[in-house]
């Protein structure tokens, strides 16, 4: 099975940039998706196919994918960005999620 590794937590100061990584073997060969889950809410898609933003997602959210690491970057972090973030890929027709990264805004 395919494994995705995310940092357990990321801490970022208000207004600064948060970087969340997602590591997987040759992940550059897969399309990566990112989801935001605020406490008590359903997940929301924030990046699809590595770097595309769905309508309604601020430009502050961006994604990239290279080598063995995909990255979600959140610029000018706001208090409302405090949430769990999950990366996801498809492997052999099966969805695989990373364990999630808790982003704390300080």
Contact footprint for other proteins (CB under 8 A)? 1, 31, 33, 35, 37, 42-45, 48-49, 54, 84, 86, 88, 90, 93-100
Q: Which is nearer to other proteins, 17 or 88 (CB)?
A: 88
Q: What would the two tokens of residue 103 be?
A: 């982003």
Least distance in angstroms from the C-beta of 29 to other proteins: 12
Q: Tokens 């196919």: give the residue.
A: 49
- Whichever of 38 and 76 has its CB closer to other proteins, that residue is 38
- What are 95's two structure tokens? 């969805």
Q: How far is CA 45 from CA 1, 14, 15, 22, 38, in A?
A: 24, 22, 22, 16, 12
Q: Is the dihedral of CA 26, 28, 32, 36 positive or negative?
A: positive
Provide φ and ψ at 58, rounded to 5°: -60, 150
Instruction: Quote the least distance from Cβ 78 to other proteins, whole Å.
Output: 22
CB of 14 to other proteins, least distance (A): 26
Minimum CB distance to other proteins, residue 100 (Å)? 4
DSSP class of 41:
S
According to DSSP, the residues that pair with 63 across neighbouring strands are 72
With respect to other proteins, which residue has the nearer C-beta, 68 or 97?
97
Nearer Cβ to other proteins (15/58): 58
């Amino acid at each position: 099975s395919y494994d995705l590794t995310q940092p357990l937590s990321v801490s970022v100061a208000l207004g600064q940039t948060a970087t969340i990584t997602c590591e997987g073997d040759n992940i550059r060969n897969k399309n990566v998706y990112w989801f935001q889950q605020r406490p008590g809410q359903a997940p929301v898609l924030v990046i699809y196919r590595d770097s595309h933003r769905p309508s309604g997602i601020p430009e502050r959210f961006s994604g990239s994918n290279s080598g063995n690491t995909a990255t979600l970057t959140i610029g000018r972090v706001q208090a409302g960005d405090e949430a769990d973030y999950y990366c996801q890929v498809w492997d052999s027709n099966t969805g695989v999620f990373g364990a999630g990264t808790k982003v704390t805004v300080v």
